[in-house]
Amino acid sequence: MSRLEVLPFDESHLPDAGRLLAARHRRHRAAEPHLPARFEDPVTCSTEVAAVLGGTDVSGAVALRDGRVVGYLLGAPKPGPDWGRNVWVESAGLAVEEAEDARDLYAAAAARWAEEGRTAHYVLVPAHDEALVSAWFRLAFGHQHTHAVREVPAGPAGTPPHVRVRRAARGDVAALARLDLELPAHQALAPTFSAAPTGTYEEALAEWEDDVDDPDFATFVAEHEGRVVGSAVGCRLERSGSHAGPARPDGAGFLGFAAVLPGARGLGAGRALGEAVLDWSRSEGHACVVTDWRATNLLSSRAWPALGFRPSYLRLHRLLGH
């Protein structure tokens, strides 16, 4: 194989990047047909890559073999305190013909990211592409987060006799506020160790007082022995900023939140709540439902695949300097 040449990415590379991304996405859709069909089109893809390139502090690299573009990588920092001094490669930020070339592209692009003091790196990779995931593992990245999708069910699933699921009402705001704190509390523990801010009960209560009737969100509660022990929220996927571009299935519902009180976990309440959101999505006319979870969350990483969710993208993460 001839030698790989790696150069900084610029606007002249957009048509080739579009061609490569469309080819990557065609392979991805063969494995996961719910991903959006329009990104099989190179022109749509080059417009998407142009939008990435137009962002703030974007940089990256392009790989050529015999003068032909065979891969590209584009990353940009995400604002806010949650992700450290970071660079993210989003779903339209990477495509290669040969998985191994991703390593050379990263080496070229990451040199600048490190010089800029950006030491927390994140990349979204098609979940079906074992060779590409393996290439990133050999760059010391690990699996941090999973994006997943499944079709809506044909009809409602029966709930277990000891759990009752219903739409939330204004009288549930105190229970909903308490349950909001359970997700960050759980993910602050081993082995997730997330440092995401937890917020207070009072803040959560004030939000629920305002939002409990919001028609854009379908909120469900699960009762066990007459007490609310869990909640889940469904909405249109467009309400989520973390599923975009080639990673956003068209017309999808979204399981955006679920939590069950620690003492009531493992009884089937989480399954019943997830199924309520699946059924709501069906009744809203969605074809599929998306959710996502931390790979290190021992509860959701088992509960959502058990409900039939299939990984579509993996978010891989590396912290430099250790």
Ligand X SMILES: CC(C)(COP(=O)(O)OP(=O)(O)OC[C@H]1O[C@@H](n2cnc3c(N)ncnc32)[C@H](O)[C@@H]1OP(=O)(O)O)[C@@H](O)C(=O)NCCC(=O)NCCS
Enumerate binding residues for ligand X (CB under 6 A). Answer: 182-183, 186, 258-260, 265-271, 293, 297, 299-300, 302-303, 306
Beta strand segments in 20-174, E: 59-65, 68-75, 86-89, 94-96, 120-126, 142-151, 163-167
* Residue 258 CB, nearest approach to ligand X (Å): 4
Cβ closest to ligand X, residue 55 vs residue 266 = 266
Cβ closest to ligand X, residue 15 vs residue 305 = 305
Cβ closest to ligand X, residue 73 vs residue 175 = 175
Cβ closest to ligand X, residue 80 vs residue 263 = 263
Q: Which residues have C-beta within 8 Å of that of residue 236, sequence separation ≥ 6?
A: 216, 252, 253, 254, 284, 286
Distance CA 120, CA 1 (A): 33
* Residue 230 CB, nearest approach to ligand X (Å): 6
Distance CA 167, CA 273 (A): 10
* Residue 114 CB, nearest approach to ligand X (Å): 32
Distance CA 187, CA 295 (A): 11
* Residue 314 CB, nearest approach to ligand X (Å): 15
Residue type, 203: E
* Residue 167 CB, nearest approach to ligand X (Å): 18
- Of the CA atoms within 13 Å of residue 97, those in its CB half-sphere come to 14
Q: Residue for token digits 């695949």?
A: 305
- Residue of closest CB approach to ligand X: 270
Point out which residues pair with 75 in neighbouring strands: 59
